[in-house]
Chain A
Amino acid sequence: ELKVEQNPLFLSMQEGKNYTIYCNYSTTSDRLYWYRQDPGKSLESLFVLLSNGAVKQEGRLMASLDTKARLSTLHITAAVHDLSATYFCAVGDTDKLIFGTGTRLQVFP
């Protein structure tokens, strides 16, 4: 059974700082997704990573995938308040997604 773990579960960071969220998964997969969720809202797609070594960047967020280590990272550069949200990684398993526990990010001045 595929298991997906994220850490940290909660991250409080100051504006302007950098940090990385980690996503580990237990069995081989060819697809890794990152989503953002604001409180009470739906899931917004951020990145889809489909191959080993894939790196994608959008604004202050950069995601990477190491399929051999079964690890994906979401790096936040120079955080701003607008990035405050919960971030989920999800791993493709047949045609469904298995989600991680989520990382709740709070960015303060």
Chain B
Amino acid sequence: EPEVTQTPSHQVTQMGQEVILRCVPISNHLYFYWYRQILGQKVEFLVSFYNNEISEKSEIFDDQFSVERPDGSNFTLKIRSTKLEDSAMYFCASCRYIQETQYFGPGTRLLVL
């Protein structure tokens, strides 16, 4: 069964450093998302991506964040200058149509020191 994959599974970085989180969505899906979950809290929407552009972004997704789909299969989230409060689990998700299930990847646990 196709699944969303994410790399790395864990990343530790120093405050102020840049990180890139990578995702490979399910191949015939059209909508791509990043969500994050701070430990013990609910899942928060960051950004949605459709037709090679951002369709919506949350207040969390400020100028330090960017997304890219560089080669038609990978979908990346870049944080330019990490802050302590960026420490969270970051989930990539994809779906074929809006009315269908969003499938979530296994997540990348980011720790900013």
Contact partner of A102 (CB less than 8 A), chosen from B31, B42, B98, B104, is: B42
- Identify whether the interface residues of A are mostly helix, strand, loop, or mixed: strand
Question: Which range contains the number of B residues in contact with the other chain?
Answer: 20 to 34
Residues of A within 8 A of B (CB-CB), count:
23
Task: Determine whether A98 belongs to the interface, using a CB cutoff of 8 Å to chain B.
Answer: yes
Q: Which positions 1-58 of chain A face chain B at CB distance < 8 Å?
A: 30-31, 33, 35, 41-45, 48, 50
Chain A residue at smallest Cβ distance from B107: A42
Query: Which chain B residues have a beta carbon within 8 Å of chain A's beta carbons?
Result: 31, 33, 35, 42-45, 48, 50, 55-56, 91, 98-107
Given A41-B106, A94-B55, A100-B42: 6 more A-B contacts, CB < 8 Å: A42-B106, A42-B107, A45-B102, A45-B103, A88-B42, A99-B35
- Identify whether the interface residues of B are mostly helix, strand, loop, or mixed: strand
Query: Which chain A residues have a beta carbon within 8 Å of chain B's beta carbons?
Result: 30-31, 33, 35, 41-45, 48, 50, 88, 90, 92, 94-102
Chain A residue at smallest Cβ distance from B44: A99
Chain A residue at smallest Cβ distance from B104: A43
With both chains docked as a complex, state the minimum distance between the C-beta of A61 and any C-beta of chain B, in angstroms: 15
Interface contact B102-A97, CB-CB below 8 Å: yes
Q: How far is the CA of A46 from the CA of B106 in the complex (A)?
A: 16
